[in-house]
Amino acid sequence: MTEKLSNGRAANVIANQIIRSGTSPGANYRAACRARSKAEFIAKLGIVEEELDETLYWLEVLVEADFLPQKDADPLTKEGNELLGIVVASIRTAKKRSPPR
């Protein structure tokens, strides 16, 4: 998607942000799977949540700035929201299963 954006300065800056925030959830999820404690697992999933939300924000900015048609953003937004829902549910489950402090 970012390769299809115009080559203007603003579009490039936003594209770079999307590339960073859009690739971060995978790396942080992998780190969460290797967590040494429940607390570390929950913290890493929190980063996944934040990065997914940031990516959704940048998609909204692209649409609002008319760099990306809404119809092109819709499937990406849908998938991002689905992943966000899964991660939030996982965090809630992990917190419920954590021993009280």
Question: pLDDT tens digits for 6-50?
Answer: 889 999 999 999 999 999 999 999 999 999 999 999 999 999 999
23 occurs within a structural domain: yes
* Portion of the chain with pLDDT greater than 90, in percent: 86
Q: Which domain holds residue 32?
A: 7-97
36 occurs within a structural domain: yes
3 state DSSP class of 36: coil
- Quick one: CA dihedral 56, 58, 60, 66, positive or negative? negative
Q: Has this prediction a pTM greater than 0.85?
A: yes
58 occurs within a structural domain: yes
CB atoms within 10 A of CB 16: 12
Does the pLDDT value for residue 98 go beyond 80? no
Kindly report the CATH number assigned to the domain that includes residue 11. 1.20.1440.60
Q: Return the amino acid letter for 89.
A: A
